[in-house]
Structure 1
Amino acid sequence: MHALIVIAHHDSRSLTHSLATQVAEGISTDPTNSFEIADLSAEAFDPRFTAYDLAVHHREARPPADVAAEQMRIDRADALILVYPIYWWSMPAILKGWIDRVFTNGWAFDFSPETTLVKNLSKLQVHLVAVGGADKGTYARYGYADAMKTQIEHGIFDYCGASVATSELMLESESRDPIFHLEAARSLGRNLFSASKECVRDEENSISAV
């Protein structure tokens, strides 16, 4: 199975990058799995939502080449993993812009005033790895986990039909020993497709038993 790991951090030495590397290494422990990394900053993805992008949303223009390339990456993937720092209690602008531009009407979903919403990404499994500097108590006190669920899980991915399988908050990133987060990221990668493969084996055993 194949995963697309999206990194939203400009510094290749960051904890964000290290976590993405651990996820990738975890995936690689099973030789039947593969992954691709989309480093948005290193690849100079343009996150600006322009008038042309609005025309794409209105189905008046085709997605530009950079957007189409990202959509093809996602089409190849069974799982999408977003690894990003929490900026001002949200995701970095480059990642939000990537979602704004790539998850277009006509690809991620189909909508018009005359028809019912059609969700096109029901086969995609999403995993969120968010890196935060504050502690768990601070995020709990102000309801960040619930806000994350509303804004990202429901507001973005559920709208397109994709399911958020795991949502990890890697907290105290500037004060805690990073080994704990790195081990958790590697475990995420190692177990990423375990449930899916178990389901396939169960189906194959059921068929062979008939």
Structure 2
Amino acid sequence: MHALIVIAHPDQASLTHSIARHLAEGVAQPEEGHSFEIADLSAEGFAPAFTVTDLAVHRRDVPIPVDIATEQARIDRADALVLVFPVHWWSMPAQLKGWVDRVFSNGWAYDEGPDIKSVKRLRHLNVHLVGLGGASASTYERRGYRAAMKTQIDHGIFDYCGARVVTSELLLGSEPADVALHLEAARTIGRDLFKARAEQVTEAA
């Protein structure tokens, strides 16, 4: 099975990149035979701004542009989509949100329109969310930030398209002891990435 790991961080030496690499190592256990691709949106120069062309795509007035079709094909090749991101203002970074805005388009991620029956088109996709935050767990819970993020991202984006959010993890703290735990957690997430898929297949059988 194949995982697409998407990150949006300009610093290759960041904890976000380290988490993505360790998660990929967990996926690529030789005895399992799984594969991965890392989509580094910052290094690849993905343009996140939602333009008039994207609006026309949403309205189904023009074909999907090449850059978006390329990203959609990456997801179509994957059995699991993994987003690894630093928490910016209690959400994902602008470049990653722009990737979602543009790539998860009408006619591909979902169907809707005046004369179109609403359809969730990504029911086959398993999603894993790994956010990195500096605030404490008590702050997230006390202020309701964690619940708000799940409402916005897990449900507002992925459930709307029918995708199943299997992992929704917040790795909090940046002290050396925290980092060591985060890297091990990333490896574990990677190793377990396709267990849910295997369980789904078993249940279907």
Q: 3-state SS of the aligned residue for 1:12?
A: coil
Alignment partner of 1:173 is 2:184: no
Mapping for residues 1-210 of structure 1, pairs under 5 Å: 1-29=1-29, 30-173=31-174, 176-200=177-201
Q: Percent identity?
A: 63
Shift of 1:197: 2.5
Q: Deviations over 1:19-38 (max 9, x none)?
A: 00011000011442111110
Shift of 1:202: 7.1
Contact kept in structure 2, 1:85 and 1:130, CA below 8 Å: yes
Q: Which amino acid aligns with 2:78?
A: A
Q: Distance in 1 between matches of 2:101 and 2:55?
A: 10
Q: 3-state SS of the aligned residue for 2:26?
A: helix
Query: Could you say which structure has the larger radius of gyration?
Result: 1
Shift of 1:196: 2.3
Q: Distance in 2 between matches of 1:154 and 1:14?
A: 28
Shift of 1:148: 1.2
TM-score (norm 1): 0.93
Q: Deviations over 1:57-93 (max 9, x none)?
A: 0000111111000000000011000000001111100
Q: Which amino acid aligns with 2:165?
A: V
Gaps of 5+ in 1: none
Q: Deviations over 1:79-135 (max 9, x none)?
A: 000000001111100000000000000100111122321010000000000000011
Q: Distance in 2 between matches of 1:73 and 1:126?
A: 14
From the superposition, tell whether residues 66 and 185 of structure 1 become closer, same or farther in structure 2 (CA, over 3 Å). same
Mean Cα deviation higher: 75-84 or 169-178 = 169-178
Contact kept in structure 2, 1:25 and 1:186, CA below 8 Å: yes
Gaps of 5+ in 2: none
Count of matched residue pairs: 204
